Amino acid sequence: MENFTRFMHPNIVSTTFTSIFSARPDIVVRAPGRINLIGEHTDYNGGLVLPAAIDKAIWFAAGKRNDRRFAFYAADLNEHFISEHQPLVFQKQFTWVNYLLGVFSEARKDGLEFGGLNLAFGGNVPLGAGLSSSAALESGAMFVLDALYGLGLSQLDIIRLAQRGENNFVGMQCGIMDMFASVMGRAGNVIKLDCRSLDYEYIPFRMPDHSLVLCDSGVKHALVASEYNTRRRECEEGVAILKRYYPDIASLRDVSTDLLKAHENQLRPSVYNRCLYVVEEIARVEQACTALRENDLRQLGRLMYQTHDGLDRAYEVSCPELNFMVNAARVDDAVTGSRMMGGGFGGCTINLVKNEAVEAFTQSLDADYQRVFSRKINSYVVRPSNGIEVVD
Ligand code: GLA
């Protein structure tokens, strides 16, 4: 899926649609990628997360068809697909197709009535970088289908269908954070989302002197699906054991560090470590929200480093490249906080960097990294942006 989205904007996606399907699109939609400031691997544990949609997105141009088939064109890959089968089946050849078919297949399971679709898309969300290009694809495709066929879905319906597509069709047991951020994002804000109740709150992200810098390790997270699902099972194993003592515990959200420590001997060491990380990380999200409200960037940065250390040592989803990058940030005075972001085993670090030092930081990081890993780091400054929207 490398370079699956290189660069695209609404005009281009619209003219691309016209040249491929010989018609003007009925709709053009922008679906953004996301960052997560803090709260990693907490969403599927009923915990708290603090993501934002960003100003990197996938643009879709779409139109109805007269039959019930789906024709897709991935502009940046120059790949076509047209569905032949009813029901929709998993495609081994084109991984990207499954993100689209998955949501449509789930929508059919719910008895939603819709016909076929022509869809061209492309964008600038770097792939495999942990910015959730997949959630942008899933949520964007469902948004388009809803708009064209008047399905009457709420934002939450779209979010849930996108998550189900990924869980049931693609086979990645992800939580709800990525889709939620892509759909619900608001410019200039991060979203404090309670993944148990789905209550959410926008918190202004005001840091005029700092930039949010994503540094892509270039390591593709091939392990992520299997290890991610394993982490989920390990957390569930911890919950199942604690439940024997406290039947009211439904997820790690209901567990305190004291309670967990009291039962350390009943859990396998790896399961204990995973659970402890999650319980502490949920608490860190609350602390980060306070720090944001009080404009206490130092504290926010400290929490980010703590998250990284937890992901590395207790949750064991980091890798040498990401650790190298975070360690380089730690000794740079211009960087207030840094950590790996997303599922792990590669992808990006997220860094809070003083504006005037962004260039120097990214250049020296890249040079050091190339010396050690013989690989380049691509860096991006991103801003919290609006969620999915129709583009004029
Ligand atoms: C991936 C998943 C999310 C979340 C993060 C880790 O991005 O898709 O649901 O679990 O990993 O925080």
Q: For the chain, which residues make up each domain, given as ranges? A: 10-206+386-390
Protein residues with CB under 6 Å of any ligand 1 atom: 40-41, 43-44, 132, 174-175, 177-178, 342-343
The residue whose CA is least distant from atom 11 of ligand 1 is 343
CA of 154 to the centre of ligand 1 (A): 22
Mutate to test the pocket of ligand 1, among 38, 125, 174, 285 (most ligand atoms within 8 A of CB): 174
State the DSSP string of 222-240: TTHHHHHHHHHHHHHHHHH
Mean of all residue pLDDT scores within the chain: 94
**In the chain, what are the helix, strand and coil shares in percent, each to the nearest 5?**
45, 20, 35
Q: Which tokens go with 8?
A: 């695209």
Q: How far apart are CA 255 and CA 237, in angstroms?
A: 13
What was the pLDDT predicted at 2?
32
Crossing angle for the helix pair 133-149 and 155-164, to the nearest 10 degrees: 130
What was the pLDDT predicted at 1?
28
Q: How far apart are CA 245 and CA 268, in angstroms?
A: 16
Q: Which tokens go with 205?
A: 């992200």
Question: Token match 């086979």: residue?
Answer: 171
What was the pLDDT predicted at 102?
97
The residue whose CA is least distant from atom 9 of ligand 1 is 175
- Per-residue pLDDT of 147-178, as tens digits, reads 999 999 999 999 999 999 999 999 999 999 99
Q: How far apart are CA 142 and CA 45, in angstroms?
A: 25
**Identity of residue 70:** F
Element (H, E) at 365: helix 358-373
What was the pLDDT predicted at 5?
45
368 is catalytic: no
End-to-end CA separation in angstroms for the chain: 29
Closest atom of ligand 1 to 172 CA is 8
Domain 10-206+386-390 has CATH 3.30.230.10: yes
State the DSSP string of 287-317: HHHHHHHTT-HHHHHHHHHHHHHIIIIIS--
CA of 175 to the centre of ligand 1 (A): 6
Query: Which of 76, 146, 178, 216 is labelled catalytic?
Result: 178
**Residue 53 φ then ψ, to 5°:** -75, 155
CA of 86 to the centre of ligand 1 (A): 31
What was the pLDDT predicted at 3?
37
**Residue 82 φ then ψ, to 5°:** -135, 130
Output DSSP code: residue 130.
Answer: S
CA of 50 to the centre of ligand 1 (A): 12
Q: What does the pLDDT profile of the chain (392 residues) look like in tens digits? A: 233 444 567 778 999 999 999 999 999 999 999 999 999 999 999 999 999 999 999 999 999 999 999 999 999 899 999 998 678 999 998 889 999 999 999 999 999 999 999 999 999 998 778 899 999 999 999 999 999 999 999 999 999 999 999 999 999 999 999 999 999 999 999 999 999 999 999 999 999 999 999 999 999 866 567 899 999 999 999 999 999 999 999 999 999 999 999 999 999 999 999 999 999 999 999 999 999 999 999 999 999 999 999 999 999 999 999 999 999 999 999 999 999 999 999 999 999 999 999 999 999 999 999 999 999 999 999 999 999 999 97
**Identity of residue 77:** L
The residue whose CA is least distant from atom 1 of ligand 1 is 343
CA of 130 to the centre of ligand 1 (A): 9
**Residue 352 φ then ψ, to 5°:** -100, 110
The residue whose CA is least distant from atom 8 of ligand 1 is 174
Q: How far apart are CA 179 and CA 159, in angstroms?
A: 5
CB 147 within 8 A of CB 25: no
Q: Give the distance from CA 32 to its chain's centroid.
A: 10
Q: How far apart are CA 375 and CA 30, in angstroms?
A: 31
Closest atom of ligand 1 to 177 CA is 9
- Per-residue pLDDT of 322-378, as tens digits, reads 999 999 999 999 999 999 999 999 999 999 999 999 999 999 999 999 999 999 999
